[in-house]
Structure 1
Amino acid sequence: MSRPSAMDLAQSAYAAYGEATDHQNYQGQPMPEWEALGERIQKAWIAAAGTIAMDILTSLANNPSPLTPDVGDVVLVPMDPTLNNGAAVAPAIVTRVWNPITINVRVLADSDAVVWRTSVVYRDNLDDVAVPAAVWTWPPRD
Structure 2
Amino acid sequence: MFRGVSPINLDAKGRMAVPARYRDLIEQLCANQLVATIDTEARCLLLYPLPEWELIQAKIEALPSYNPAARRIQRLLIGHATDLELDASGRLLLPTMLREYAQLDKKLVLVGQGKKFEIWDETLWNQTREEYLQAVSDAVLPEEMQLLSL
- Check whether TM > 0.5: no
Larger radius of gyration: 1
What is the TM-score of this pair, normalised by structure 2?
0.26
